[in-house]
A and B are shown apart, each in its own frame.
Chain A
């Protein structure tokens, strides 16, 4: 196995208060290795409010501002405006928001920030539900998943609607750079973080961040499950720079989605027929992605 080549700098302190196996904790750790010590981070209400610890401690060796859940896009516009006004052009601005805080309640301010061409990196860490409030469904929860507000009871089969296509929404704003990342693939993650840090203008990351208590799997399985998400084609890794899409983890044969679904309690109720439907959808979207990549 290849040796990991991540920079040794640790900008997330070991005393953070994430759950064991927390995907979002890894996401912040890898991200800051890429953007570096001169980063200012804006965090809305989310698990990361808690992970970053309470007064008078803080888990980041960097400045961090807490904001209301829906305001990340505006917050990073404000941070950049102040840095410009105060002539501190060497500082990276990062918004680090959950999926609910991004695709639902914060969508307007994200759109505003992209449209204003704010020079900042917006990171959406996707644990696929409102986890901090106790696993309620968000617009980013996948179809069929159990959550506390999409129970599996009687006729109810978990979430009835498909996951919102945040990358499609973001790409319609033509950011300078947008990418999907996975905490289970740190080298791909780091390369993208470094690349984003080298660019100016609005940038966006969609980071898959598995959540052991929310997805119902053992806390030592985060990386295994994360890898399966990508290798089954459920969460492909790609980047889009100036409109050109490139798949960054090439897959020959996709692994069966069953391998990913069967190891998570939130999907425990899905029947073989339901899993087959997911399989077909994933095959189709993977083929569409490859087609888009092939476009000149």
Chain B
């Protein structure tokens, strides 16, 4: 174990190297670029004996990974925003073929209008593609999550692709000290991939063929079952990881000071760190509030959310994207999760941090204030004030 000062992007690259990925393929997009630049260095210097296929599009990047994984290789790619959107068809191919690809995503807003900043529209737009989605909160968690992601993806009971999504710039380009495990520690945690259901040279094997309706629904159900097994499998993987490396993140949902809370805010990604500080402030002012961070969005932690709902009266969900539904995308999932629970807390959906707007303490206080107030608030777009007046056309 060594301590290095790493950006979230370098945490991705170091984790991929420690995982001994065999095939990497990627196409550049801001703010993902430094992930693959660093990997290119590792490969060129011989530190990482992998095939790095530099392709002409993200679409091809993911196809390279799908085909390489279909032959049994451990594969990694990384992208962001428009690049992830271009991959859309391939995201389904990857999960439908049960290829255990791990992908780093730097969560960025989607154009138009062009914008490079932190926003979850890219990953939320791909929530229905059969990928596990992990949203770390720190660079340390990025590194740890990528390593856990490989174990999870390749687990023979799972065999699903996993994306590890880090907030643009807040993580991707901000450095902090990161404990980097030794190669021996990682090798003990993450053994080489055991191929199953792969193509075998010399044998009549086939992946991706067409099926009749009866088999189609059966394959989908199997995929769904694999997703359903993720919470338990990830918990076991985390426990092992914690034993070896001394760090865990509480599985799918990480609660903070929820005991005895009247109102709990659910967040994802980096907004959670600030929200935790706000909870401390409000608690010291006597307000009974808590935080629950959704660490894994797919599979959606419905059980954990229902459990939370049985203990509090008010739930607020902060979404960092707008997906044109009834509420924010996480809020919609929470609503679906609690509708079958015996106690249904009042639910508020907050849109904040969209397009990289800063989610500061004042804004988070406003969410808690709203949650603790009497009137139900439904859906609210927060922080809509323009920065300053700009005269239009003279």
Return the chain A residue nearest B195 by Cβ.
A86
Is B63's CB under 8 angstroms from A109's CB?
yes
Among A52, A68, A78, contact of B25 (Cβ-Cβ < 8 Å) = A78
Chain A contacts for B206, CB-based, 8 A: 52, 55, 58, 60, 63-66
Is B93's CB under 8 angstroms from A67's CB?
yes
Is B57's CB under 8 angstroms from A79's CB?
no
Is A63's CB under 8 angstroms from B23's CB?
no
Interface hits, A45-87 → B, CB 8 Å: 49-50, 52-56, 58, 60-68, 70-71, 73-79, 81-86
A55 and B215 CA atoms in complex are apart in Å by 8
Distance to closest chain B CB from A182 (angstroms): 28
Given contacts A55-B211, A58-B204, A66-B208, contact A112 B25 (CB under 8 A): no
Is B201's CB under 8 angstroms from A38's CB?
yes
Interface hits, B36-67 → A, CB 8 Å: 50-51, 53-57, 59-61, 63-67
Please choose the segment from B70-78, B144-152, B357-365, B366-374 that sits at the chain A interface, where 4 or more of its residues have CB less than 8 A away.
B70-78
Return the chain B residue nearest A54 by Cβ.
B210
Is B63's CB under 8 angstroms from A52's CB?
no
Is A77's CB under 8 angstroms from B55's CB?
yes
A40 and B215 CA atoms in complex are apart in Å by 25
Chain B contacts for A73, CB-based, 8 A: 60
Return the chain B residue nearest A71 by Cβ.
B63
Is A82's CB under 8 angstroms from B23's CB?
yes
A58 and B207 CA atoms in complex are apart in Å by 10
Distance to closest chain B CB from A96 (angstroms): 14
Return the chain B residue nearest A109 by Cβ.
B60
Q: Is A111 an interface residue (CB 8 A)?
A: yes
Is B208's CB under 8 angstroms from A84's CB?
no
Chain B contacts for A62, CB-based, 8 A: 202-204
Return the chain B residue nearest A75 by Cβ.
B67
Give how many B residues have a beta carbon under 8 Å from the other chain's beta carbons. Answer: 42
Is A78's CB under 8 angstroms from B215's CB?
no
Is A112's CB under 8 angstroms from B57's CB?
yes
Chain A positions 33 through 50: 1 when the CB is less than 8 Å from some CB of chain B, otherwise 0: 000011010100000011
Return the chain B residue nearest A115 by Cβ.
B56
A102 and B200 CA atoms in complex are apart in Å by 26
Chain A contacts for B25, CB-based, 8 A: 77-78, 81
Return the chain B residue nearest A118 by Cβ.
B53
Chain A contacts for B64, CB-based, 8 A: 74-75, 77-78, 81
A85 and B195 CA atoms in complex are apart in Å by 14
Is B50's CB under 8 angstroms from A85's CB?
yes
**Can you list 6 A-B contacts with CB-CB less than 8 angstroms, sorted by A residue number?**
A63-B200, A64-B199, A66-B209, A77-B25, A78-B66, A109-B59
B binding-site residues for A, Cβ under 8 Å: 22-23, 25, 50-51, 53-57, 59-61, 63-73, 89-90, 93, 199-212, 215
6 extra A-B contacts, CB within 8 A, seeds A38-B202, A63-B204, A78-B63: A55-B209, A67-B63, A67-B93, A77-B60, A81-B23, A81-B25
A binding-site residues for B, Cβ under 8 Å: 37-38, 40, 42, 49-50, 52-56, 58, 60-68, 70-71, 73-79, 81-86, 88, 91, 108-109, 111-112, 115-116
Q: Which 5 A-B pairs have the closest CB atoms?
A: A78-B67, A66-B208, A74-B60, A112-B56, A78-B64
